[in-house]
Every structure is written in C-alpha cells, then in structure tokens.
Structure 1
Amino acid sequence: MTTDTIQPTPARARAVFSNEDFGLLRKAVMHYLKQPEVQDAPESVKYVNLFHRLGRLG
C-alpha cells in the first residue's frame, strides 16, 4: 500500500532588495571601510569583497 501525498508547488521567489538598494548598501559599506579602526581589522577584506559583489549586482 502506497500513500501518495500532493506536494504544493513552492511560491515563486521574490526579490528582497531592489537595484537601488544595492547602490545604497555599496555606499554604506564604503563609508564603513573608510573608518580608521576598520581599515586595519582582519575582516576588512570581507567587506572589500562585499563592496565589489554589490557593485556587480547594482
């Protein structure tokens, strides 16, 4: 005996951010990166990479 269950089709994914948001986020990350205490922090490389990825999206 098998039990067939109907799986509902998942709802279509909707964008969380608009194209304009990427520009704003990129500007905020750049402002953050210019802070003296952040420039020397080891995780600053991650923020630089984020900045570049945001530039490709927006």
Structure 2
Amino acid sequence: MEQQTEEINASAVAMNEMTATLEEVAANTQQSADGSRLATEAVNGGTSKVEQS
C-alpha cells in the first residue's frame, strides 16, 4: 500500500510539472503571436507610407 501511495504522489508531481510546462508553452506561444501581429501591423503601416509617397 505504501508503494502505491508513493507512485500516486510521483504521478501527481509529474502531472503538476507537465501542467506548468504547458502553461509556459502557451504563454510563449501567445507572446509570439502578439509579436507577429505587431510586426505585421508595422509592415502594413510602412507599406501604406511608401504607397502614399
């Protein structure tokens, strides 16, 4: 019974670590998406200025 408890605890710790990693990946993905959006907006703004001149 003690071994089962240890294995369950180890599994719970592993799941918590995986959850934290996934949350970090999700945050990084969001930051990348935001950066891409800002870059696209900057390019579009520059294109408009070139077309106007």
> Larger relative CO (CA 8 A, sep 6+): 1 or 2?
1
TM (norm. structure 1) is 0.32
More helix by proportion, 1 or 2? 2
TM (norm. structure 2) is 0.34
Bigger CA radius of gyration: 2
